[in-house]
C-alpha cells in the first residue's frame, strides 16, 4: 500500500515537470529517482498529549497602539504587561508587524512571535518570572506565483486589482523602463503577466521576492523579460537594459496616476522641443543614462536645470526643478537621483521639462532607437535557455488564459 501511493506520487510529480519541458530531447530522460523519497510525509500521524486549553491569536501592531493596549488585544493577562514590556524586542515593535500569540486560558502567554525586517523570527517565551527573546533565521518558504491584469486607469490600479504586491509593480516598471515610458505610453487595455516569488512563513505570505519573468503588452506590442544573472533578457537573449531609460521620473504609487490624465501644461514635443511630465513637486528626477553633469544651476526660463552629457553625442536636460541634487562635473549612473520636480523658471505648474539632445540638437526620444546592453554571453546561452524555457511556458499559459478571458 505504502509503496503504491509513493509510486503514484512520483508519476504525478514527474508529469507536472514534463509539461513544462516539452522541448527537452527525449534521449536525456533519466530513470525515475528511487521511490523512497516520497514516503516521508506519511510518518506524520503519531500525535498525542492533548495540549492544555490555549488559543492562538494574531494581531497587527497598529500606528498609535500602546504596547499595553496591543497586549490586551492579544488576550494577555494585564498583570503580565509590566514584565513583557521589559523585553527590548517587544519595545522595538514597529507598526505593521503581525504578532502571533499562543496564550493559555488564564491569559499567560506561552509564546509571542513575529517576523522582523531582517527575515528573522523573534520568539518571546516565559523564563521563570520574566520573559526572554530568542531570534533565529525565519524558515521562509518560497513559492512562485503567476498573475495577470489589464490596465484600466493606472499600473497600480491594475496590480491592486490582481493582488500583485507593490514591490513587484515597481520591478515590472523597472524591467521595462528602457522600452516603456510608464508615465506617457500606458494605454487602457494594455496588459501584463508576472511570474514572481512570494515568501511564506507558516503558510502565510510575508513578502514578495524577485520578479522572475514578465510580459507586457503595450499598445499592441508584446515585450517579454526573463530574469537571468544580474539582468533581464528577452527570451531570445537580447538584453532589456537600455543605455537610456524612457522616462526621466521615478515611477511610484504617488505619481503613477498623473501621466494617464490629461494635464493642461502637457504639450506635444514639437511645441517646445521637449517633453513635459506633469508630476507632484518633490517627485524624484533620475538620470536616464550614465553620464557627467555638464550644468547644474539656474538658467532663465528653465529655472533650476541639470544638463547631463552621456557617451557619444547624447545629452539630456531636466528643467523647472525645485531642488538640484548634483554638482557640475559629477559622474552619475542611470537611475541616480539628480533633483526633484518643481516649477522654477517659466512654469505654470509643477512639472518636469525634459529634453533629449543629439550633438546639441533637441530630438524626439520616441523617434530614436536606443542602444541596448550586451546580450546573454554565448557561453551562458545553454544555461539561459534552461532557465528561460519553463518561465516562458508559464507566460504562454497565462497569456492564452488572459486572451480567452478578455474575448
Ligand atoms: Zn516643457
Ligand 1 centroid, distance to 175 Cα (angstroms): 27
- pLDDT for the residue numbered 318: 98
Kindly give, in sequence order, each residue whose CB lies less than 8 Å from that of residue 12, ignoring residues fewer than 6 positions away.
none
Under 8 Å between Cβ of 343 and 350: yes
Region 328-355 average pLDDT: 94
Tell me 40's DSSP state.
G
Ligand 1 centroid, distance to 372 Cα (angstroms): 27
- pLDDT for the residue numbered 372: 85
Ligand 1 centroid, distance to 355 Cα (angstroms): 8
Ligand 1 centroid, distance to 276 Cα (angstroms): 5
Side-chain-side CA neighbours of 41 within 13 Å: the count stands at: 5
Ligand 1 centroid, distance to 218 Cα (angstroms): 25
Helices and strands, number each (H, E), in the chain: 8, 20
- pLDDT for the residue numbered 201: 85
Ligand 1 centroid, distance to 294 Cα (angstroms): 20
Query: Grid coordinates representing 145?
Result: 506565483
Element (H, E) at 132: strand 130-137
- pLDDT for the residue numbered 275: 87
Region 76-81 average pLDDT: 93
- pLDDT for the residue numbered 355: 93
Location of C-alpha cell 494635464: 263
Ligand 1 centroid, distance to 268 Cα (angstroms): 9
Ion ligand 1 nearby residues (CB, 5 A): 274, 276, 353
Secondary structure class of 115 (helix, strand, coil): strand
pLDDT band at 378 (very low <50, low <70, confident <90, very high): very high
Q: How far is CA 152 from CA 155, 183, 399, in A?
A: 8, 14, 18
How long a stretch of residues is the chain?
Answer: 407
Element (H, E) at 102: strand 98-104
Share of residues in the chain with pLDDT > 90 (%): 59
Ligand 1 centroid, distance to 192 Cα (angstroms): 31
Q: Which of 8-22, 48-62, 381-395 has the lowest mean pLDDT?
A: 8-22
Bridge partners of residue 145, in order along the sequence: 196
Tell me 354's DSSP state.
E
Q: What is the pTM of this model?
A: 0.72
Ligand 1 centroid, distance to 274 Cα (angstroms): 6
Share of residues in the chain with pLDDT > 70 (%): 81
The pLDDT mean for the chain works out to: 83
Ligand 1 centroid, distance to 353 Cα (angstroms): 4
- pLDDT for the residue numbered 118: 83
Ligand 1 centroid, distance to 284 Cα (angstroms): 17
Query: Grid coordinates representing 7?
Result: 509510486
Query: Grid coordinates representing 153?
Result: 486607469
Amino acid at each position: 500500500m505504502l509503496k503504491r501511493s509513493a509510486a503514484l506520487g512520483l508519476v504525478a510529480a514527474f508529469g507536472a515537470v514534463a509539461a513544462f519541458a516539452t522541448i527537452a530531447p527525449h534521449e536525456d530522460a533519466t530513470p525515475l529517482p528511487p521511490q523512497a523519497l516520497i514516503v516521508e510525509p506519511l510518518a506524520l500521524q503519531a500525535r498525542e498529549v492533548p495540549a492544555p486549553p490555549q488559543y492562538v491569536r494574531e494581531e497587527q501592531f497598529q500606528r498609535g497602539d500602546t504596547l499595553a493596549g496591543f497586549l490586551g488585544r492579544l488576550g494577555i493577562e494585564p498583570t503580565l504587561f509590566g514584565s513583557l514590556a521589559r523585553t527590548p524586542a517587544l519595545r522595538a515593535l514597529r507598526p505593521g508587524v503581525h504578532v502571533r500569540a499562543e496564550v493559555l486560558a488564564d491569559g499567560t502567554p506561552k509564546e509571542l512571535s513575529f517576523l522582523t525586517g531582517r527575515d528573522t523570527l523573534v520568539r518571546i517565551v516565559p523564563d521563570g518570572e520574566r520573559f526572554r527573546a530568542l531570534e533565529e533565521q525565519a524558515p521562509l518558504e518560497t513559492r512562485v506565483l503567476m498573475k495577470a491584469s489589464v490596465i484600466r486607469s493606472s499600473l497600480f490600479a491594475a496590480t491592486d486589482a490582481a493582488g500583485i504586491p507593490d514591490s513587484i509593480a515597481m520591478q515590472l516598471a523597472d524591467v521595462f523602463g528602457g522600452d516603456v515610458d510608464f508615465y506617457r505610453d500606458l494605454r487602457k487595455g494594455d496588459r501584463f503577466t508576472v511570474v514572481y516569488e512570494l515568501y511564506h512563513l507558516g503558510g502565510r505570505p510575508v513578502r514578495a521576492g524577485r520578479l522572475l519573468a514578465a510580459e507586457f503588452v503595450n499598445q499592441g506590442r508584446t515585450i517579454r523579460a526573463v530574469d537571468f544573472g544580474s539582468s533581464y533578457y528577452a527570451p531570445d537573449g537580447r538584453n532589456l537594459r537600455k543605455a537610456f531609460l524612457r522616462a526621466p521620473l521615478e515611477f511610484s504609487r504617488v505619481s503613477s496616476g498623473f501621466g494617464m490624465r490629461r494635464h493642461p501644461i502637457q504639450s506635444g514635443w514639437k511645441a517646445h522641443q521637449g517633453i513635459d511630465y506633469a508630476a507632484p513637486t518633490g517627485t524624484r528626477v533620475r538620470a536616464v543614462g550614465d553620464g557627467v553633469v555638464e550644468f547644474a544651476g539656474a538658467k532663465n526660463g528653465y529655472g533650476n536645470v541639470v544638463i547631463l552629457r552621456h557617451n557619444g553625442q547624447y545629452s539630456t536636460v531636466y528643467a523647472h526643478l525645485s531642488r538640484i541634487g548634483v554638482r557640475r562635473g559629477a559622474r552619475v549612473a542611470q537611475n541616480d537621483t539628480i533633483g526633484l520636480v518643481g516649477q522654477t523658471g517659466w512654469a505654470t505648474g509643477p512639472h518636469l521639462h525634459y529634453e533629449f539632445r543629439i550633438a546639441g540638437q533637441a530630438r524626439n526620444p520616441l523617434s530614436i532607437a536606443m542602444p541596448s546592453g550586451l546580450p546573454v554571453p554565448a557561453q551562458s546561452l545553454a544555461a539561459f535557455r534552461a532557465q528561460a524555457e519553463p518561465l516562458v511556458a508559464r507566460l504562454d499559459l497565462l497569456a492564452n488564459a488572459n486572451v480567452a478571458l478578455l474575448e
